[in-house]
Amino acid sequence: MTMERVKNLEETPPETPSDDNGRRRQILDAARRLFSRNGFHGVTVRAIAEEAGLNSAAHLYFYFPSKADLYRETVAEMTAPVQEMSLSESALDHPPERALSSIARAYLRMFDDEDTVQLYRIGLIKAATNPQLGADHLEAGGGMQGLPLVERYISRQMELGNLRRSDPRTVAIWFLWQLRSYIIIREIYEPLYRDLPPLDEYVDEVVDIVVNGLLPPATR
């Protein structure tokens, strides 16, 4: 048997669905570890293949068309808990103090995972110098996870008269960015982080600003 024939056999994908799913899982887990340590450009397809235990880098392409596709799926999977958050129709009528606090804490729990934090940090820094990487990160869910959910809830609360009329998307983006800002400060600006209140108090403050606005009650 020639070496070329051996190579072709090594690069043949698994024949059963369970083998196929298992191999995809191996690749995604390997990509998660490497991307979170070294960023998108610091990782080669060969390195991911070796980390996943593949016989050759070419084998990876049976599962993912490119490294960029693998990166997008890795980010999407890591942020899936937030992207998949939903509210029932009845929950849309829950008071803002309760619902927004629950959404905020669920969102911030995503960053309890160190790999997610590392990948987020790298994506944030690299996106400033690489627009395409920033776009890939955003498309994969590394941008405004949970935005449709928050916007829908804010819009409903405005309809009910519980929140002052404004642009729901602007309010939703502002709300989520305050949560992301906490993580950015915690991970990158340690001196400033020491001046922030504990997480629960911070969430309460952000929710209070959304509910009551920026003006003191006496001037509204």
pLDDT tens figures, 167-213: 999 999 999 989 988 988 888 888 889 999 999 999 999 999 999 88
For 132-171, what is each residue's pLDDT tens digit? 666 655 555 555 667 888 999 999 999 998 888 889 999 9
For 83-121, what is each residue's pLDDT tens digit? 666 667 778 899 999 899 988 988 888 888 788 777 777
For 82-92, what is each residue's pLDDT tens digit? 666 666 777 88
pLDDT at residue 207, as a whole number = 94
pLDDT at residue 2, as a whole number = 36
- Ramachandran angles phi, psi of 17, nearest 5°: -60, -35
Query: Which alpha helices (DSSP H) does the chain contain, by range?
Result: 3-10, 17-38, 45-51, 67-78, 80-83, 96-109, 114-127, 131-137, 147-160, 168-188, 190-193, 199-212
